[in-house]
């Protein structure tokens, strides 16, 4: 049995045989005389009692639970790439067919919300906590998706009422940018409430959804802002003639 010794002069740690307990001698590092502590003076740290079930060899049959992040398989990767290509193809189809009707814009905002919400949650959830799964995850995704889609009401109606515009696309890009920022912040609060995320992660989650929707809208030829409003005080050409 050995005794753990720490030199009080140079703080060198070493072990000596228990037969030197209580005796003095030179430190092997600094050569100064030190005293080896008695065996009874040692601090012994005992492991906590393990009352878990054991197998025939005395080993615990319980195993720690480790959190596992979902793996990105080749199949999932191909599906994701196919969906992206398909969405851009549809958007380009609307662009070259004469424009995207209002019903298609509303349907796109609603249908894109659940998959983008689910994909975004996979990237921003807290790795130190077990992620939501199963029915609970589905319900939270649907609620958050509905809130994300509902924030487009702000873009559709609020600026038009505040600035007395006939359509949201008559906003300047500055006003539209401010409006989109407000939508992202509200979406972040919805994400935090639904998935118990940090606010920064909630901003990332909501921003991912709105960024994808806006990019697809621009590819589809949807005019989101920058259209000059008509001059309400201009005299119609028919009256001039």
- Whether 154 maps to a domain, the answer reads yes
Quickly list DSSP for 27-52. -TTT--EEEPPPGGGS--PPPPP--S
- On the 0-12 / 13-18 / 19+ scale of CB atoms within 10 A, 107 is exposed
d(CA 127, CA 144): 20
pLDDT tens, residue by residue, 84-105: 788 888 888 888 887 788 888 8
Q: Report pLDDT for 66.
A: 57
- Whether 196 maps to a domain, the answer reads yes
Q: Give me the number of domains the chain comprises.
A: 2
- Whether 12 maps to a domain, the answer reads yes
3 state DSSP class of 89: helix
Q: Does residue 22 come out as left (phi exceeding 0), alpha (psi in the -120 to 50 range) or beta?
A: left
Both 35 and 82 in one domain: the answer is no
- Whether 65 maps to a domain, the answer reads no
Both 10 and 113 in one domain: the answer is no
Both 37 and 88 in one domain: the answer is no
Q: Report pLDDT for 233.
A: 47
Paired sense of beta strands 2-6 and 13-17, if any: antiparallel
d(CA 203, CA 129): 19
Distances (CA, A) of 226 to 9, 142, 175, 182: 77, 33, 10, 18
Contacts of 7 (CB under 8 A, 6+ apart): 13, 14, 27, 29, 30, 32, 34
What's this model's pTM, rounded to 2 decimal places? 0.65
Both 135 and 186 in one domain: the answer is yes
Contacts of 32 (CB under 8 A, 6+ apart): 7, 9, 10, 26
Both 7 and 118 in one domain: the answer is no
Q: Report pLDDT for 241.
A: 44
- Whether 57 maps to a domain, the answer reads no
Read off φ and ψ for residue 157, nearest 5 degrees. Answer: -120, -40
Q: Which residues pair with 2 in a beta bridge?
A: 17
Q: Report pLDDT for 159.
A: 76
- Whether 239 maps to a domain, the answer reads no
- Whether 227 maps to a domain, the answer reads no
Both 116 and 193 in one domain: the answer is yes
> Residue 184 has which token pair?
């992202």
Task: Compute how many other C-beta atoms are within 10 angstroms of the C-beta atom of residue 5.
Answer: 20
Q: Which residue has the tokens 């077990």?
A: 130
Contact 192, 199 (CB under 8 A): yes
Low-confidence ranges of the chain (pLDDT < 50): 233-235, 237-241
d(CA 155, CA 6): 71
Both 34 and 82 in one domain: the answer is no
Both 158 and 199 in one domain: the answer is yes
What is the residue range of 131's domain?
74-219
Q: Report pLDDT for 141.
A: 92
d(CA 229, CA 156): 16
pLDDT tens, residue by residue, 156-182: 888 777 877 888 888 888 888 999 999
Contact 202, 209 (CB under 8 A): no
Both 121 and 186 in one domain: the answer is yes
Both 11 and 80 in one domain: the answer is no
Both 97 and 154 in one domain: the answer is yes
- Whether 66 maps to a domain, the answer reads no
Both 93 and 201 in one domain: the answer is yes
């Amino acid at each position: 049995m050995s005794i753990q010794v720490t030199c009080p002069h140079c703080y060198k740690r070493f072990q000596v045989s228990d037969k030197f307990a209580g005796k003095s001698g030179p430190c092997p590092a600094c050569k100064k005389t030190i005293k080896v502590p008695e065996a009874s003076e040692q601090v012994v740290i005992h492991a906590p009692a393990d009352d878990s079930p054991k197998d025939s060899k005395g080993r615990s049959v319980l195993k720690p639970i480790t959190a596992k992040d979902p793996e990105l398989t080749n199949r999932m990767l191909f599906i994701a790439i196919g969906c992206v290509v398909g969405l851009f193809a549809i958007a380009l189809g609307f662009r070259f067919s004469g424009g995207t009707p209002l019903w298609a814009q509303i349907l796109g905002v609603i249908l894109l919300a659940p998959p983008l919400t689910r994909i975004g949650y996979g990237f921003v959830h807290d790795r130190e906590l077990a992620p939501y799964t199963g029915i609970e995850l589905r319900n939270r995704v649907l609620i958050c998706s509905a809130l994300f889609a509902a924030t487009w009401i702000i873009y559709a109606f609020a600026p038009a009422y505040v600035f007395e515009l006939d359509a949201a696309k008559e906003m300047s890009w500055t006003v539209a940018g401010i409006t989109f920022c407000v939508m992202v912040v509200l979406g972040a609060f919805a994400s935090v409430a639904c998935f118990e995320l940090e606010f920064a992660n909630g901003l990332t989650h909501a921003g991912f959804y709105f960024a994808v929707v806006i990019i697809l809208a621009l590819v589809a030829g949807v005019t989101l802002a920058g259209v000059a409003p008509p001059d309400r005080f201009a005299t119609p050409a028919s009256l001039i003639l």
